[in-house]
Structure 1
């Protein structure tokens, strides 16, 4: 037993408070590994993400084009698809031409009807008087039904309103529609059997329409820069 003097130098430890909190639980080894892996993943993501996602300025500096240039390239790649209706109309007009080249003995009512149907098909709903009732209803509600107009709109969508290429394409579009309208009028005027003179007029108008179609196609290619 310590003397009173020595005991005063080493006071006994105070008893723990009655409501003291228990010591924090110790993490087991698997829990420590999970926390460590999670912390490492967060740390790595903060380092890797900036590397995988370069700033916009860096992207342009290494040659990646902007959205407008990218769209231009996509339009060029899809030019064949965009011009497919033009090519189909040209083939239809050539079929009508071969029918018109038949002799008078071979060219009858059925051939005339077929020529008229071919011309309506080739015009792609761009001649108002040749539209069927459903297409006419669509047009009256504000829906654009002329395929050639839609082609111009698509091909020139990245050009300004006063861009010379766009204006030229629109001018060629108007010429094409006038050619189809004139050709359609001549074919509708034909009787059961076209006379030699009237048939030649239709043939000449058909050739002019094919020429207008070719010019229109070139205007679209100019807009697409292909």
Structure 2
């Protein structure tokens, strides 16, 4: 026998599930708090981005900023230090010039009685003035140093020091190196004349004195080249 259940019985056996009501809309106070929360997050992100953008400039100021507050690069600082110590760089040149002048006074003192001691003193002064830049006038120890690769020419060291901040092809550096070669040739010629001349003859002494003055002129030109490298 088939039983047909009534609608009321079915409803009782399977009651309908209650509907879930949506959450109530946030109040004005909640909206205000949410808006403040979002604003705070935005401000923190903006501050972080601004700080990251600022950090590189703390380590490497732009040229405009560096110029405005007087910051110079290391090369400019080294150039200024070289200028301040220029008298020490130029000291060997001045010492050589004074030695040449002493030799000139000895050659032109006017006495007719010149002996071997006078010749030896003139030659000693001329060797000293070359600052070990003429190979023929170096002593054995200096010659040994040169053969081992040590730079013994004082004038060459002066040029290297003065032009260390210049490029190899810089015209100022090239001019200083050219004046150094002229100076070495002048010293070589002067020493050859002094060694091969009978200093007891007034005319021979005058010949050596003239060559000596030419060497002083070359030395002055060399000094100017070094000063140009130092920008003084």
User: Do the structures match in fold with TM over 0.5?
Assistant: yes
The TM-score normalised by the length of structure 2 is 0.71
Q: Which residue of 1 aligns with 2:215?
A: 209
Superposed, 1:7-156 pairs within 5 Å as: 55-57=59-61, 60-61=66-67, 62-156=69-163
- The ranges of structure 1 where at least 4 consecutive aligned residues each deviate by more than 3 angstroms after the TM superposition are none
Q: CA deviation at 1:118?
A: 0.2
Q: CA deviation at 1:56?
A: 3.3
Q: CA deviation at 1:103?
A: 2.7
**CA-based RMSD:** 2.0
The TM-score normalised by the length of structure 1 is 0.73
Q: Which residue of 1 aligns with 2:40?
A: none
The whole-number CA distance in structure 1 between the counterparts of 2:218 and 2:110 is 27
The number of residue pairs the alignment matches comes to 175
The whole-number CA distance in structure 2 between the counterparts of 1:69 and 1:170 is 23
Select the residue among 181, 184, 208 that pairs with 2:188.
181
Is the 2:103–2:126 contact (alpha carbons within 8 Å) kept by the matching residues of 1?
A: yes
Q: Which of the pair has more CA radius of gyration?
A: 2
